[in-house]
Amino acid sequence: MGLLTRKRAICLAAFLMGTQAQAAEWELALDVRAVSSDGRESFLDNGQGKLRFDDDHEGIQLGRLRAAWNQPLGEVFSAHVEASTWDDDDKNPIDLTEAYVEYRPYPRAGLRSRLRLGAFYPPMSLENRAIGWETPYTITPSAISSWIGEEIRTIGLEGQVDWLGTRLGHSFDLQLTAAVFGWNDPAGTMLSAHGFALHDRQTTLFGRVGAPQTNPEYAAKELFHEIDDRPGYYVGAQARYLDRAVLNLLHYDNRADPTVELPSIRDFAWLTRFDAAALRIETQNGWTAILQALDGSTYIAPGGYWLDWEFDSQSALVAKRVGAHMVAVRYDAFNVLFQHDPAASGSEDGHAWALAYSFDRGDHWRFAVEWLRVESDVPTRVELLGEPAFARESKLEFSARYLLSGSF
């Protein structure tokens, strides 16, 4: 689907480019890390560790190499493509994280509609607001955003209507969103396999979550497949007070048939539903507060026998920006309950603290340092790995990112 969209977009671009002198915009970003970590074997290597870089991945690491392209197609259409490499054992050395065509007509009478077709993130994270769906506050996003980046992508059609109240002399803007999508039926499989994790690695559209599965009976960790031919949907609403406060609500249901299996990836259609709420408040003197909450469930029914994982997470972030400097502290709590039994293998209970400082030097450089501690109680560790259920994992990470951008 994403590939189809991209090909179509490129054809359309070639057709329209000669007619209008509009600027295509591109970005190229290299993010290099220096990592000190005592993390358990990472979920990216089929372990039960919560961090992207475990104690076998200390030292200099590639954070992300990212290329983005935004191509106006005529006046109200545009195509956007995001490609990344994460330098781990993913299927493809470089792959797409998002690729879509957007239709954004001019507003009329205070209302504006917008359509997106392709592969993109649902409008959910008020934290991941920087380019490349990154968070500007920390290196590692919250458990909620980490999970969205890992398992969730809209591959379909999304429509939005904005009421631009602030353009009509009011203090509020409102937005309604609805989408239908497919090709995301495995969403939930990683949550059941290793629970929540805290990482900035976004699963690519044609890739998988890290290293290949070592156990041939386990699912292939590929998220973007259509399994049951049933489209999912989400609906959302957003209210804004001037440019100071945003409240975002989303209800998501992939409407999967949990009895259907896709043998090629040894995975089921996971029936995943969740509600998400987020609130962001900013002040003129540089303070930002972001509260996020996620509550949902996921099911599979192999042979008609229903297996049930319930999950929830909450996050609170406070940041203070002074000029080009920013300090942020965040707390995350997360919980997965398998078959209503906290001691069952597949359940977990954990929380995390992050403390970060970042500094933007001009338009090109961003430097950040982050301390992250995750404490989690995961009964699966005993059964699968013979490790203690409880783990306290800490990481100190330094990031230097160089961004080049331009237009032509």
Partner 1 sequence: MTAWQHDGKALAGAVVTVEAEAPALPAPAPAHATMDQVNLSFVPDVLVVPVHSTVQFPNSDVISHQVYSFSSARRFQLPLYRGKPYPPVTFDEPGVVTLGCNIHDNMLAYIVVTRAPYFGRTDAGGKWAVPNLPAGRFRLRLWHPLLNEPLEVERLIDAGAAEALVEIRLARPLRPAPLTGRPHSWDY
What is the nearest approach in angstroms of partner 1 to the Cβ of residue 62? 22
Q: Does 21 help bind partner 1 (rule: CB under 8 A)? A: yes
Q: Does 92 help bind partner 1 (rule: CB under 8 A)? A: no
Tokens 């179509």 — which residue? Answer: 8
If you ran DSSP here, which 8-state letter would residue 158 be given? Answer: E
Site string for partner 1, 263-292 (x = CB under 8 A): -------------------x-x-x------
Q: What letter represents residue 104's amino acid?
A: R
Count the residues of the shown chain that bind partner 1, applying the rule CB under 8 A: 34
Q: Does 243 help bind partner 1 (rule: CB under 8 A)? A: yes
Q: Does 362 help bind partner 1 (rule: CB under 8 A)? A: no
Among 88, 360, 370, 397, binds partner 1 (CB under 8 A): 360
Q: Which is nearer to partner 1, 22 or 345 (CB)?
A: 22
Phi first, then psi, for residue 262 (nearest 5°) are -115, 100
Q: What letter represents residue 73's amino acid?
A: L
Q: Which is nearer to partner 1, 114 or 351 (CB)?
A: 114
For strand 154-163 and strand 111-120, is the pairing parallel, antiparallel, or unpaired? antiparallel
Contact 369, 357 (CB under 8 A): yes
Choose among 26, 206, 233, 5: nearest CA to 100: 5
Q: Does 171 help bind partner 1 (rule: CB under 8 A)? A: yes
Q: What letter represents residue 378's amino acid?
A: V
Among 14, 23, 176, 404, binds partner 1 (CB under 8 A): 23
Among 72, 141, 182, 379, binds partner 1 (CB under 8 A): 72
- d(CA 140, CA 145) in angstroms, rounded, equals 9
Strand, helix or coil for residue 26? strand
Choose among 69, 348, 89: nearest CA to 194: 348
Instruction: Please count the other Cβ atoms lying within 10 Å of the Cβ belonging to residue 147.
Output: 26
Q: Which is nearer to partner 1, 72 or 141 (CB)?
A: 72
Q: Does 20 help bind partner 1 (rule: CB under 8 A)? A: yes
317: left (phi over 0), alpha (psi -120 to 50) or beta: beta
Which of the ranges 56-64, 160-168, 308-316, 346-354 carries the binding residues for partner 1, by CB under 8 A? Answer: 160-168
What is the nearest approach in angstroms of partner 1 to the Cβ of residue 19? 12
Q: Which two tokens stand for residue 365?
A: 């450089």
Q: Does 176 help bind partner 1 (rule: CB under 8 A)? A: no
| Residues at the site binding partner 1, with contacts judged by CB under 8 A | 20-23, 25, 72, 75, 104, 106-110, 112, 129-131, 136, 164, 166-169, 171, 242-244, 282, 284, 286, 321, 323, 360, 407
